Amino acid sequence: MSGQAKSQAPLLSVRNAEVSFSTARGPLRAVDGVSFDLHEGRTLGIVGESGSGKSVLVRSLIGLVGAGSGAGVAGQVLFEGRDLRGLSPREFRGVLGTEIGIVFQDPMTSLNPVMKIGRQIGEGLRLNRGLDSKAAARRAVELLSEVGIPEPERRARQYPHEMSGGMRQRVAIAIAIACAPKLLIADEPTTALDVTVQRQILDLLQREQRQRGMAMILITHDLGVAAGRADDIMVMYAGRAVEAAATREIFRSPRMPYTEALLRSLPRLTDPTHSRLSAIPGRPPDLARRSGGCSFAPRCSYRTTQCDEQQPVLTWEASRGYACFHPRGVEGGVGA
């Protein structure tokens, strides 16, 4: 994260990322001024509820939001010091194909239903690494076996509908890592899967990341998923980064009341049986009608008039940042 002292330059550096859509009810700012750094080999967990802008943010960084959808994208994205937004379409496709891999949420829809698995894996290799179709097919089989799919030769000749959800997500991971990227983006990679399979997929992602020394962005709405896997966590709410810190600090002492409420809503084994889960009252704000104040204020139990009138900015205190006038666990904060 930005606050961390790292000698080398970050692999990915994002400054003031914005994404807005024009809707019938006026412009909607889905991502509003988000900045972060990601270093080689590190895992950043981006956590937030549905509609908080986490997926849109990450997709906009790699150019998958924008063209054709009428979305407005702003801000600076540096990858290995290169400004991605300044590249020609051809150069950009080169970076995307070789340096960045992505795994989507739903493996039922993220694989082409009418193309054989092997070809879908080999496609990027042929395009970006110049392999001929035979070599690409061989490599595809190797990748399938690497991601733990039995009988890879046979599976490579199958179509996605002949596989289970967990297997398809393994295939999606094989596609993402095929060209040996430096950054792996996992966009809610386990949300659409059975609980029993979720862990296997997360373990696989983590193993591949460590072996290959990739950096990873793990997008999830489940703090529990991010807990054991991410080095750092950025919490998003209503299109803004509201808290960012090392994972253990987030869990030990959240600053932002929203993070605190999220943590409280996780079930714990130590809870007495049949106790109610704590929920956050209210609903996320309408992004087309932003108020001038803190987006979380209407649902926050520490709300003051200042929260309604001013928008808190993400401020850094040592190695962690939060956007709140009344941070928890801090001198002068409400909970101090």
Partner 1 sequence: MPWLVRQLVRLVVVLFCVTLLTYTIVNILPGDVAIVILGNLATPQDIAGLRADLGLDRPMLVRYFDWLGSALSGDLGRSYRSGEPVVQAILDRLPVSLQLMVMAQLIALGIAIPVALLSVRRPGGLFDRISASAAFGFLAMPNFMLGIVLIYLFSVTFDLLPATGFTPMSEGLWDNLESMILPSLTLGLIEWTVLMRVLRSDLLTTLKEDFILLARAKGLPQWRVLLQHALRPSSFTLITILGLNIGGLIGGAVIVEQIFALPGVGRLLLGGIFNRDLILVQGTVAFIAVGFVVINFLVDMLYAVLDPRVRHVRFRS
**DSSP 8-state code for residue 100:** E
Shortest spacing between CB 94 and partner 1, in angstroms: 6
Query: Using CA of residue 286, residue 287, residue 291, residue 293, what is the dihedral sign?
Result: positive
> Would you say 148 and 204 are in contact if contact means Cβ atoms under 8 Å apart?
yes
Please report whether residue 114 would count as binding partner 1 according to CB under 8 A. Answer: yes
d(CA 326, CA 331): 10
Q: Which of 97, 118, 254, 327 binds partner 1 (CB under 8 A)?
A: 97
Q: Does 48 bind partner 1 (CB under 8 A)?
A: no
- Contacting range for partner 1; rule: CB under 8 A; set: 62-70, 197-205, 211-219, 228-236: 62-70
100 binds partner 1 (CB under 8 A): yes
Binding flag, residue 42, partner 1 (CB under 8 A): no
Binding to partner 1 by residue 133, rule CB under 8 A?
no
H-helix or E-strand containing 125? helix 117-128
CB of 221 to partner 1, least distance (A): 18
| One residue of 16, 50, 112, 211 binding partner 1 per CB under 8 A | 112
Residue 95 or residue 234: which is nearer to partner 1 going by CB?
95
Stretch that binds partner 1, among 92-100, 200-208, 233-241, 290-298 (CB under 8 A): 92-100
Nearer to partner 1, 106 or 222 (CB): 106
Asked if 172 interacts with partner 1 (CB under 8 A), we say yes
Question: Does 23 interact with partner 1 (rule: CB under 8 A)?
Answer: no
Residue 203 touching partner 1 (CB under 8 A): no
Q: Which two tokens stand for residue 185?
A: 């983006």
How far apart, in whole angstroms, are the C-alpha atoms of residue 96 and residue 175?
13
Q: Which two tokens stand for residue 245?
A: 């810190």
Contacts of 99 (CB under 8 A, 6+ apart): 79, 80, 181, 182, 183
Number of neighbours of residue 71 by Cβ within 10 angstroms: 18
CA 260/CA 300 separation, integer angstroms: 10
Nearer to partner 1, 13 or 105 (CB): 105
Binding of partner 1 by 115 (CB under 8 A)? yes
| CA atoms of 282 and 248, how far apart (whole Å) | 28
Shortest spacing between CB 109 and partner 1, in angstroms: 4
Q: Are 111 and 133 in contact (CB under 8 A)?
A: no
Q: Does 118 bind partner 1 (CB under 8 A)?
A: no
- What values do phi and psi take at 261, rounded to 5? -65, -40
> Shortest gap between Cβ of 98 and partner 1 (angstroms)?
7
The pattern of x and - marking residues 288 through 327 that bind partner 1 according to CB under 8 A reads ----------------------------------------
Q: Element (H or E) spanning 26, and its range?
A: strand 26-38
State the distance between the two ends of the chain, measured CA to CA, in whole angstroms: 25
113 near partner 1, rule: CB under 8 A: yes
Cα separation, 307 vs 300, whole angstroms? 9
Give contact residues for partner 1 (rule: CB under 8 A).
59, 62-64, 68, 89-90, 93-98, 100-102, 104-106, 109-115, 123-124, 127-128, 159, 161-162, 172, 175
